[in-house]
Amino acid sequence: MEAFQTPPDQMPRRISMEHAEIEHETAERFAHALAGWEARDFERIRIHTKAEKWRSASAIQKAIRRGHVATALTHAQALHDFEPRYLLRRRLAIIALEDRAHGDEKLVAECLWASRAAQDWDEDTKLRGLLMLVNRLCGGTKDRSPCDAGVAATWHWDWADHRGEWDGLPTEALVEIVLSPGEHPVSRVLALGIVAARRKQGLLLDVARQLGISPLQRYIAVGGAVAEGLGVPFLVTSALIRKCAPKEVSAEPDEPIVDLPSIGPWPSYCLDQHNWDGRRAVLYALATVPALRRYCERWGVEKGRGPAVVQELLFRVESDTVDSRLIYPQSRELRRLASESCLNWAGLPGEALDEGLEVLRANMYRLHQARRRVLGVA
């Protein structure tokens, strides 16, 4: 187990010494899980280009969201073989923060810890340990509410004025907003984000304690700030869940989950707005699917912004879906606000969301055909 420990003098300075015990417990938990784990059978593939690298990176995350273990392991192995130094371990930290969050906080802590510690492991241990984490991330309850809250605070039009005005508020006033249960969660995330941007790390930890955030959640928040900028919304959603009665927190599947056939080794859902092939497929679909063009025309989408609109709708129809989602009183609203925020970013009002989702769901097979064309499959 000692091989998985991070010496205190090698911890990032942002992780305070009060977290040393959590670090030790996390390493022990990881070592215990790894000792009894063997990889199930999965297909081995090799990737050779940067385009394929980003398809595999996308495939891992979308497969984890849907609980597709074999697909996630296939592309995790391929990504590690292509770039063994850091890409997979870095990717797992991001996935854990974005997609598991409060669904399994101990597992999130393991992924954050491993993303740093694995650089010192031998190659066999590194690959086996990272594949074990991929396998565990696929199971259990997913939670994207911190990500949803962060997206809404960044892009939603309802908070556009606040984003400019609150930059001028004194820190004490911002902290008062964060600590007020009556403020909207997105407002609290926005205010805490401005405090964080002022690099008041000690104050952030003090606010976290006042919110009643557990040491484990503080550990994740600090790691989240380093890994993906999700530390701030994670603190706020931690406070929300802490106030919930047990009967108010549950898990349920998303409906509907769009499942299209794979294209060779590539699940169709890996071609999204985060890689070049996915963006090319959207361009082709927009040129060949009249219903998508009519939707953009009806809502007055500016010239050149159509692809961005379709890409954001596609994320909500296909990429955002999970097999089991954590539900608590504010989580559904945060997801809706995040969906509207994506359209706001693309230049459309939130009122255009439901129609856009309906149009895209009705034409997913046409989009799949566009993806096949982009990949050169008849």
Range of the domain at 295: 268-374
Would residue 354 count as lying in a domain? yes
222, 286: one domain:
no
What's the confidence (pLDDT) of residue 10? 42
Residue ranges of the chain with pLDDT lower than 70?
A: 1-17, 224-228, 378
Would residue 3 count as lying in a domain? no
Would residue 201 count as lying in a domain? yes
128, 154: one domain:
no
129, 149: one domain:
no
What's the confidence (pLDDT) of residue 257? 78
Would residue 261 count as lying in a domain? no
What's the confidence (pLDDT) of residue 223? 74
What's the confidence (pLDDT) of residue 352? 96
pTM confidence score: 0.92
Total of domains in the chain: 3
- Residue at a domain's end among 211, 245, 279: 245
Would residue 205 count as lying in a domain? yes
What's the confidence (pLDDT) of residue 131? 97
126, 71: one domain:
yes
What's the confidence (pLDDT) of residue 1? 33
For 27-83, the DSSP string reads: HHHHHHHHHT--PPP-------SHHHHHHHHHHHHHHHHHT-HHHHHHHHHHHHHHS
22, 90: one domain:
yes
Would residue 59 count as lying in a domain? yes
134, 149: one domain:
no
99, 191: one domain:
no
The 10s digit of each residue's pLDDT in 265-312 is: 999 999 999 999 999 999 999 999 999 999 999 999 998 999 999 999
- Residue at a domain's end among 84, 109, 138: 138
124, 201: one domain:
no
What's the confidence (pLDDT) of residue 256? 74
